Copies of this chain bind each other. A is one copy, B any other.
Amino acid sequence: RNNRLQEKTLPWSRYISKAAAKAQLDYDYDGPLMKTTVPGPRSQNVGAVNFFCNYDDSRGNYLVDVDGNRMLDLYTQISSIPIGYNHPALLKLMANPNNLSTFVNRPALGILPPENFPDKITESLISVAPSGMTRVQTMACGSCSNENAFKSMFIWYRNKERGHNSPSEEDLSTCMINQAPGCPDLSILSFMGGFHGRTMGCLATTHSKIIHKLDVPSFDWPIAPFPRLQYPLEEFTRENAQEEARCLEEVEDLIVKWRQKGRPVAGIVIEPIQAEGGDNHASPDFFRKLRGIARKHGCAFHADEVQTGGGSTGKFWAHEHWGMEDPADIVSFSKKLLSGGYFYRDELQPYRIFNTWMGDPSKNLFLAEVLNVIRRENLLEEVARSGKALLDGLYDLQAQFPGLLSRARGQGTFCAVDVCDAATRDRILLQTRDKGVILGGCGESSIRFRPALIFRDYHVHLFLNIFSDVLAHNK
């Protein structure tokens, strides 16, 4: 599969950037600067740690390690840094004495919120509420968000089954001892390859890696196939439509089957792009039909946007690409939103969802400012532009290195490409890092790109230069 001829006729040096030599962002560095291999001598190697970081010196798109290596970061703390490191707008916010007490006094938000907190949530989260949703519940992390979203769907489903909100005596007495009907045998339908977190409810819907699930008790919940599409999507529309139809049919079969075995599907949970599972895409048509199936069978529909949300697909929510007025009943988020949580339709009101912290107002303070920066600097347009440059570059590279790369795909900068095997992928990740670019792996042998929203054309070309160099050495 290693096509040496093609590699020779398309020399990697073609990627030497023609773009401006400056980063255009006054708070960014000009480029990577490597002093040692990574992890360097000052990064003690502890367990799963990649290396230790100097967050004081990190800036913009660049993460600096304790050995002074400055790396262009296309992974951004597993996709959780929205506008780069030490953004001046966030530093300025820290300098405002009016914000002090928000950091120092963490409230029990559900019972004792700060003055004007509803207004502050309206300015931040509600200003980016998904279509059809006007309500949001914050949570401390992504897993808690999905766990509580599932609970909201179960409670909603049971009230729908009852026809009213008053539980029976039997409900009340059995729930305290973990038994039906109080703790009903309801299920959540999820997809093979999906990832929704690692706490026990979430984990029962996660099917991306063995290491996540092994040895942890689970629920007998239905698992549908996620479409395995061919890329580029536009070249395989007929084949992909067939594959999606097959999966949708299976979804309906599973819903019927689980209803018959007394474990009705209360909700369907799905990522707009399966991320941990290997950046697997499906078409807007697939999601629209899946939403229709959920409605037809009376299941809630939960779009998990923990990794896709926050702008990196070129729209604030990946589900906006579906073009629906009413895309979901629940949309959960975390990572780039800086706090976990979920939006929900009125019917799924979470009066019974509660815990001590229920989020963290200091994170909302940052989020409001992040949203200001996104709007002021038109970052979603920037993402669309740099995402196109990145994907075009990946298309070129896979044409140039067909034995190494395949299936380049992406939306905005939320891109990925497959490497011929896992060992080569892992080697390429380390070599690219030693040349000053941080990437992430996902799925069996994919590389995923998760830059911050301030990733520009300039950085794309920087990256492509380095990456093509590494690929040439692995041809």
Contacts and interface: CB of A to CB of B under 8 A. Distances in A.
B117 A357 contact: no
Given A106-B80, A182-B213, A213-B183, A176 B113 contact: no
A305 to B, nearest CB: 14
Contact of A217 (B66, B207, B219): B219
B178 A221 contact: yes
Contact of A154 (B55, B115, B215, B338): B215
A20 interface: no
A341 B30 CA distance: 39
B86 A178 contact: no
B94 A351 contact: no
A147 B200 contact: yes
Interface string A35-57: 00000000010111111111110
A354 to B, nearest CB: 7
Contact of A141 (B172, B211, B223, B355): B355
A49 B178 contact: no
Contacts of A98: 56
A431 interface: no
Interface in A338-373: 338, 340, 351-357, 362, 366
A5 interface: no
Interface string A76-109: 0110110001110011001000101111111110
A186 interface: yes
Contact of A201 (B63, B200, B214, B351): B200
A75 B206 CA distance: 38
A101 B200 contact: no
Contacts of A49: 110-113
A187 B186 CA distance: 20
A58 B90 CA distance: 25
Contact of A140 (B144, B154, B182, B335): B144
Interface residues of A, number: 106
Contacts of A117: 52
A171 B218 CA distance: 13
Contacts of A46: 118
A442 interface: no
B63 A112 contact: yes
A384 interface: no
B113 A199 contact: no
Given A52-B117, A198-B353, 7 more contacts: A52-B114, A85-B104, A144-B199, A147-B200, A151-B200, A171-B215, A201-B201
Closest 9 CB pairs of A and B: A200-B201, A183-B218, A178-B218, A140-B141, A147-B199, A77-B108, A158-B215, A175-B213, A140-B140
Interface of A: 44, 46-56, 58, 63, 66, 77-78, 80-81, 85-87, 90-91, 94, 98, 100-108, 110-118, 140-144, 147-148, 150-151, 154-155, 157-159, 167, 171-172, 175-179, 182-187, 192, 197-201, 204, 207, 210-221, 223, 334-335, 338, 340, 351-357, 362, 366
